[in-house]
Chains A and B, each alone.
Chain A
């Protein structure tokens, strides 16, 4: 069974830092792109970042570029999101999600087929 479990959320002061983790199991982790998506309270989904299976290709949304850093450790089946210079508007539930895969056709697609349960980050003084 595919599982993604986020951890590391909590309360942090403005300007502070936090590191989120996403632990994966149930699939060949080193073969998949992993994404981070967040959802502010009562708001919609916002894509934040993705990292390729090898970790070589990394992309960010403009809203977090220069402040957030995505990384992965394939030996530990984990992806991380280092968040620096946090602001009130970064308050949200943060999800990690796997790129889509159609097992019948062995096709990877740029949708998100498995998601974690999310971890809450609250930025407040």
Chain B
């Protein structure tokens, strides 16, 4: 199972919105709406931001939103803040009953 494809880095200024893409295939992201997004700060465990494409767990800011079209899912961070500087990963359920992660995107707040 190949990793989902994400841009290596995305940057934005405070207050701006940025979008991170996550591209898979018909055997994972394209066939299931079980896409999750995670935020990871250095030296920390990942934190779940979104599940099932666009659902936010309790306590996650509504500045984080998600969508999906075909084989590509997207995470949008609106009102970018300094604390949003971190690595972001998507994941998808697959046809083999496994999970696959994206390659990861480093978000820099300028």
Which residues of A come within 8 Å of B, CB atoms? 35, 37, 44-47, 50, 57, 59-62, 95, 97, 100, 102, 104, 109-113, 115-118
Q: Which of B3, B45, B58 gathers the greatest number of chain A CB atoms within 10 Å?
A: B45
> Do the beta carbons of A113 and B104 come within 8 Å of each other?
no
How far apart are the CA atoms of A59 and B99 in the complex, in Å? 10
CA A97 to CA B36, docked complex, whole Å = 14
Task: Find chain B residues with CB under 8 A from A100 CB.
Answer: 36, 48, 51, 57
Q: A104 to chain B: which residues have CB within 8 Å?
A: 58
Contacts of A61 in B (CB 8 A): 1, 98
Known: A59-B97, A100-B36, A100-B51. A111 touches B102 (CB 8 A): no
Asked whether B64 is an interface residue with its Cβ less than 8 Å from the other chain, the reply is: no
